[in-house]
Amino acid sequence: MSAVSWIVLDIEGTTSSTESVHTGLYAYARPRLGPWIDAHRDDPGVREAVRRVERDAGLPEGAGTGDVVRVLHGWMDADVKATPLKTLQGQVWAAGFAAGELTAHFFADVPPALRRWHARGLRLAVFSSGAVSSQRPWFRHARDGDLSALVDDHFDTVNAGPKRERASYERIAAALGAPGGAMLFLSDVPAELDAAAAAGWRTTGLRRPGEPSEHADFGGHPVVETFGEVEV
């Protein structure tokens, strides 16, 4: 098997706490989604996302911002990783980071491990349900300092595909020009690790105390509690 050359990171539950995403980012987006949609009606990306929400939720086209926002809030309550929700959240969060109103949480073991791996010549990428537009400022606005220079590439459900499908991992490896065996995926969700493994990737599950994955069944995947234990 080839040596690992890329480490690909999930965010929520892996680099960062679920609570920081839900009480930080989700709470910030909740009251701002409606005004954002109304203020950016002419933006083709916003129009397309709103149409997808209407379609996916069985609303009539042009249903109105109130109905669309009710669907978006319902998805957030259930933590549904729907692509149009992620697109709209990503735009709201990017504006929040730019305005200095948001900062990003990383578990204490993550920044030193990213710096160590980067210094060893390993390349780092992100694959998260969060839109690339929000992943970049997330790493730039880490509370202990900018981590964005450590990350070479970013993938989400738009440019790679669903996180539980093997084809998404094949697409990422092709985009990075590396064979599956040279890719290591770190995630807190066993189904995502299964999809990565099906594409020939190496995998490691994150079972962080206090996170939803604490009692997950990771099957045959190696499992760690911190990035300091990851074997590369």
Ligand X SMILES: CSCCC(=O)C(=O)COP(=O)(O)O
Report the residue number, 36 or 138, with the smaller CB distance to Mg ion: 138
Q: CB 212 → Mg ion: shortest distance, Å?
A: 9
Report the residue number, 29 or 173, with the smaller CB distance to ligand X: 29
Q: From the list 83, 87, 129, 204, which residue makes contact with ligand X (rule: CB under 6 A)?
A: 129
Q: Which of residues 41-100 bind ligand X (CB under 6 A)?
A: 81, 86
Helix or strand or coil: residue 217? coil
Closest CA to 189 of 205, 172, 202, 177: 205
Q: Which of residues 137-156 bind ligand X (CB under 6 A)?
A: 138
Angle at 87 between CA 85 and CA 91, to 5 degrees: 115
The interface mask with Mg ion, positions 171-190, x = CB under 5 A, is: -----------------x--
Q: From the list 7, 12, 126, 183, which residue makes contact with Mg ion (rule: CB under 5 A)?
A: 12
List the 123-127 sheet strands across, edge first: 153-155, 123-127, 6-9, 183-187, 202-206, 223-224
* Position 156 contacts Mg ion (CB under 5 A): no
Helix or strand or coil: residue 125? strand
Q: Binding segment for ligand X among 30-38, 70-78, 123-131, 141-149 (CB under 6 A)?
A: 123-131
Report the residue number, 68 or 89, with the smaller CB distance to ligand X: 89
Cα–Cα distance between 167 and 171 in angstroms, integer?
A: 6
Task: Tell me the residue type at 138.
Answer: W
Angle at 89 between CA 87 and CA 205, to 5 degrees: 85
* Position 22 contacts ligand X (CB under 6 A): no
Q: From the list 4, 9, 13, 117, which residue makes contact with Mg ion (rule: CB under 5 A)?
A: 13
Q: Compute the CA torsion angle 167, 52, 11, 198 (nearest 10 deg).
A: -20
For tokens 């770190």, the residue is 186
Query: Which residues of this protein are in contact with ligand X, per CB under 6 A?
Result: 10-13, 21, 25, 81, 86, 128-130, 134-135, 138, 163
